[in-house]
Structure 1
Amino acid sequence: MSQTIQEDAGPAGRRAAVGARRPFYRRRKSCPFSGPNAPKIDYKDVRLLSRFLSERGKIVPSRITAVSAKKQRELAQAIKRARFLALLPYILS
């Protein structure tokens, strides 16, 4: 059973697949800092903060770590504070 895909030129001249399937549904991850037993964001907790740094030392975006926007701002502030106090490196080599 083959499905034919018809292409339709839109008003801007772009082609859109008419019979294309939607990508599979992904369940949203919950924020690791929300909930009753969630860890508190603290600039002195280097092991927790280093989980949210890439291998190059950059802060990993919230779309990958599933941290809420409010907690992502707190996390970034704590990481910057820890870097300033030399608890975390600015770049990893």
Structure 2
Amino acid sequence: MAVSGGASKGGNRGPRRGGKRRPKVCFYCVDKIDHVDYKDVERLRKYVSERGKIMPRRVTGNCAKHQRQLTIAIKRARFMALLPYALD
């Protein structure tokens, strides 16, 4: 059975960029910070997108422990009006 009028599967999808990626590291582990502080707004802003969403671990490179603490700290900072819920 032939497929008609559609894009071919497995075709050339364009050039791919090769090379090694730099391993992501948890900045809290590197700086030896045990607890994420909700009052440290400048550091928390790095982990919030321009739409106000908390960035996932695969983007930030945080370890699981600090990502959980970071999520709680961002939510506390939002509740205390240190960070906005949504940016305009």
**TM-score, structure 2 length as denominator?**
0.71
Q: Which has the higher strand share?
A: 1
**CA–CA separation in structure 1 for the residues paired with 2:25 and 2:45:** 19
**CA–CA separation in structure 1 for the residues paired with 2:20 and 2:57:** 19
Runs of 4+ aligned structure 1 residues displaced above 4 Å come to none
Q: What RMSD, in angstroms, separates the aligned Cα atoms of the two structures?
A: 2.3
Larger Rg: 1
Q: Give ranges in structure 1 of 5+ residues lacking alignment.
A: 1-14, 16-22
**CA–CA separation in structure 2 for the residues paired with 1:71 and 1:91:** 23
Q: Give ranges in structure 2 of 5+ residues lacking alignment.
A: 1-9, 11-17
Q: 1:31 offset after TM fit, Å?
A: 0.9
Aligned to 1:42: 37
Q: Does 1:73 align with 2:68?
A: yes
**CA–CA separation in structure 2 for the residues paired with 1:27 and 1:60:** 19
Aligned to 1:61: 56
Greater RCO (CA < 8 Å, at least 6 residues apart): 2
Aligned to 1:29: 24
**TM-score, structure 1 length as denominator?**
0.68
For 1:66, the aligned partner's letter is: G
- Cα deviations by residue, 1:53-80 (Å, 9 ceiling, x for unpaired): 0000000111011011110000000000
Q: 1:41 offset after TM fit, Å?
A: 1.6
Q: Which has the higher helix share?
A: 2
For 1:89, the aligned partner's letter is: P
State how many pairs are aligned. 76
